[in-house]
A = this chain, B = another copy of it.
Amino acid sequence: MSATISTDLIRGHTDTVILNILRQGDSYGYEIYKRILQLSGNRYELKEATLYTAFRRLEKDGDITSYWGDETQGGRRKYYRITAQGQEHYAQNVRDWDFAKDILETLIKGGIGDDQD
């Protein structure tokens, strides 16, 4: 892996990243893990512990549901599906991110004369 993203820069975005992948169709843990690596060009690895912790959280909150795949042979797979509520939360999270991004830019790079409102 080349340069990587620090933990704290991704923090709080994990759920949104997972919901975004599930918007494109049901998937399971290991596939999502691989997909995130691929989408980030090997620059961000969402650790498995973090991923499965997020699944519990999202399912408890009603943003996703899960079901076991019917692989009669081969490793069992637990599939996750985004719910209508999850779709709404995803959309809200994206709005929050777009909103926060601009303010962060100002706070991080802004200086004299950049006052708001």
Residues of A that sit less than 8 Å from B by CB: 3, 5-13, 16-17, 20, 23-24, 36, 38-44, 93-94, 96-97, 99-101, 103-104, 106-112, 114-117
Contact = CB atoms under 8 A, between A and B. Distances in A.
Contact of A114 (B39, B109, B112): B39
Given A9-B12, A12-B9, A39-B106, A20 B111 contact: yes
Contact of A107 (B20, B23, B110): B20
18 contacts: A5-B103, A6-B12, A9-B96, A9-B97, A10-B100, A10-B104, A13-B104, A13-B107, A17-B108, A20-B110, A39-B107, A39-B110, A39-B115, A40-B107, A41-B103, A43-B116, A44-B107, A93-B108
